[in-house]
Structure 1
Amino acid sequence: MARFVFRLQTVLEHRKRLEDLAKVAFGESQGGLFREQATLRGFQEDEERTVDHLEVIQHEGILDMENLQLGLRFLDVIKVQIDRQTQVVARAEARVEQRRQELVAAMQARKALDRLREKQLADFKRL
């Protein structure tokens, strides 16, 4: 009996490699996004702690203007960092979405050849 040979096997293998590379790129971009989101959360927690500290200073009754001004300046710096980090997170989210679309395209290309191979194999077995 003759052996089934899929003439596009090398193309199928190439598309599988491309899909694997796309999976790796997607995973790396997701990891980058998670790190950037964690950094943003850290800044937001710093802001929250600073606001809480400033409220405590104001309610103590004895106003330490130097300490209060220092806290307000620090709060301004944190807000700038939060704004910048929010932009970094947005860019990371866009990268993840782009990598996801690339992965979906690679999977669809591979699956199309897989379906063709399965169809040709079924036709071969019927003969």
Structure 2
Amino acid sequence: MAWQTWAAGLGALALICTPALAGRDPFAPPAEPACADSAHWHPGGILGDPARRDGWLRDANGRWLRATPGQPLGQGWRTEAVTEDHIRLAAEGEACKGRPPVLLWLVPVKANNDKEI
């Protein structure tokens, strides 16, 4: 009876340790994510001075992403430039290969400072 329990445990251990059933290799590089559709990004604002500006983008899930020039944005895109009125994104990696650069224009908001609260 004890040997049957031991054999069943050994069989379960063999199944868990089988690479095909264990999931991905923890030492393998992560798989490259699919290229995000740039139409789902909405510019939320641009901060900084002319020497250094950062932009803020909201993705399709409602998360805010910081767009710093020269830095990867994730999902196959990199921030190429941030000016006072737009954010320029460039495709990078195999997932977004061949995609043209994207300009996301910031819509100016008029201040309504003539009303008292």
TM-score of the alignment, normalized to the shorter chain, above 0.5 = no
Q: Higher helix share goes to which structure?
A: 1
For the pair shown, which has the larger CA radius of gyration, 1 or 2?
Answer: 1
TM-score (norm. length: structure 2):
0.29
Relative contact order higher in (CA < 8 Å, ≥ 6 apart): 1
TM-score (norm. length: structure 1):
0.27
